[in-house]
Amino acid sequence: MNLLILFLLPIIYDVVRSEHVSTFTDVFDLVAKYNTLMEEQIKTKEYDRPRFKVYTEQYVSTDYVTFYLNETIQFSDVRENVKGCYNSSTSVFQAPVSGLYLFYIGQTEPRGDLLQADIVRGNGHEIIGFLASYILNTKNEVYVIANLDADEDVWIECAISQCWSRYGFYLMFSGVLLQEL
């Protein structure tokens, strides 16, 4: 399921780039119009990963890792970091420009993880999303669309006394600029 974002992001990117979008509802309505196209691309495997103006994708790089309440989860295995918006030493995404962003966090395989995580935004510590994944659950994912100001931060934080993962690679966090404002 972690590949779903690779299929979904090009569609969202094309929609936002080619259509006037003024509200979150507009984004969801436009994405819904392209579901058939997305399904066809998945079936035929004829999809192209666009060059995003701002894009980041990273994983937890350590097996058998533990995080504690209010600790920032360290996604230190950075696969993509267009515009350098993700700082792997602090595990914080910083918006390089004001805009509409899509964030994803997911446990992408059934590996015995215990994770309750908040997607946190800005200095006011605003929670904009939440993921709960327990030992027997599989492939839990959350997508969040947020309007960020330039230099505003987003990070993932442990929301319970202890979060852990047997296999870090299966915990992923990504962010992409959908539309500059």
pTM: 0.70
Q: Return left, alpha or beta for 151; rule: phi > 0 is left, psi -120 to 50 is alpha, else beta.
A: left
pLDDT tens per residue across span 29-87: 655 554 555 455 545 555 455 567 888 888 887 777 788 888 898 888 898 898 999 99
16 versus 27: the higher-pLDDT residue is 27
Closest CA relative to residue 54, chosen from 87, 88, 94, 15: 94
Rounded to an integer, what distance in angstroms lies between the CA atom of residue 143 and that of residue 105?
A: 7
Q: Which of 147, 164, 173 is nearest to 77 (CA)?
A: 173
If you average pLDDT over every residue of the chain, what do you get?
75
Residues 6+ away with beta carbon under 8 Å from 18: none
Residue 165 three-state SS: strand
Task: Determine whether domain 52-180 maps to CATH 2.60.120.40.
Answer: yes
CA 115/CA 135 separation, integer angstroms: 9
What mean pLDDT comes out for the span 109-129? Answer: 80
Give the pLDDT of residue 177: 92
For the cut 60, the answer to whether the pLDDT of residue 8 exceeds it is no
Above 90 in pLDDT, residue 102?
Answer: yes
CB 33 within 8 A of CB 12: no
Mean pLDDT to the nearest integer, 105-115: 67
Give me the residue spans of the domains in the chain.
52-180
